[in-house]
Amino acid sequence: MSLAIFDLDNTLIADDSDYLWGQFLVDQGIVDKAIYESANIKFYNDYKQGSLDIVEFLHFSLKPLADNNPEQLHQWREQFIRDIITPILLKPAQDLITKHKDRGDTLLVITATNRFVTEPIVNLYGINNLLATAPEFKNNKYTGNFIGIPCFQEGKVQLLKEWLKNSTETMAGSWFYSDSHNDLPLLNLVDNPVAVDPDEKLTAFARASNWPIISLRENKCPVEHFHK
């Protein structure tokens, strides 16, 4: 029995939930299209290039939580999960999760996308443990700020180490599945790093490191292995 860790966006789902949530807000007229959409695209491109200013992005992405009451936000989120997220859930991802469950592994999702957006998605896959960027909630309202360390790049490693202090789990035999070169700090930490439908930078690193490269997209070849 080991710890099996999963990234979420473009790993367990076939797109980026953070970006899609922003576009959902635009499409619903909840935010100003002219301002918000271009910024959302810019931040997403920065993320893909590895140049994202995570604090600047979080101030941008969490502001709509502060600008609306929680009851309305939850209604919008239900619609978002139903209409946008459910169609991009991946059966091969669920099969992989089930495989680890059947082995008795402990499952954990670690994602930079904030907990408000990701918690219901992770629940759909039947995973109980989630480390995500935490929006601040005070006096029955989101503030637009975040708590603690952003769960991004080295921050994922720091938050995992804090989580392990309060857990019986260890890193012995651990797995981590991710699509992004932004996750190299954590991929380098685990015993079994796996690149999943990886971006160009991660593909090159995985090949050089003889890491397994797999696809969870049903329209792609299932597995590409590079053995040591």
Q: What is the CATH number of the domain that holds 24?
A: 3.40.50.1000
Ramachandran quadrant class, 21 (left: phi over 0; alpha: psi -120 to 50; beta: rest): alpha
Q: Is 191 a catalytic residue?
A: no
The per-residue pLDDT for range 149-191, each reduced to its tens digit, is: 999 999 999 999 999 999 999 999 999 999 999 999 999 999 9
Question: Of 9, 105, 179, 199, which is the active-site residue?
Answer: 9
The span from the CA of 70 to the CA of 61, in Å, is 15
Q: Pick from 178, 121, 136, 184: which is nearest to 157 by CA?
A: 184
DSSP character at residue 133: -
Q: Pick from 145, 69, 79, 67: which is nearest to 117 by CA?
A: 79
Burial group, residue 169, by CB count within 10 angstroms (0-12, 13-18, 19+): middle
Rounded to an integer, the average pLDDT of 88-113 is: 97
Question: Of 7, 18, 183, 199, which is the active-site residue?
Answer: 7
Residue 225 has pLDDT above 90, yes or no: no
Domain count along the chain: 1
**pTM across the whole model:** 0.93
The span from the CA of 206 to the CA of 172, in Å, is 21
pLDDT of residue 171: 98
Domain enclosing residue 149, as ranges: 3-224
Q: Above pLDDT 70, what percent of the chain?
A: 96
The span from the CA of 75 to the CA of 64, in Å, is 14
Q: What is the DSSP secondary-structure string of 12-29?
A: TBSS-HHHHHHHHHHHTT
Q: Is 15 a catalytic residue?
A: no
For 89, half-sphere exposure in the C-beta direction (CA atoms, 13 angstrom radius) is 19
Confidence of residue 34 (pLDDT cuts 50, 70, 90): confident
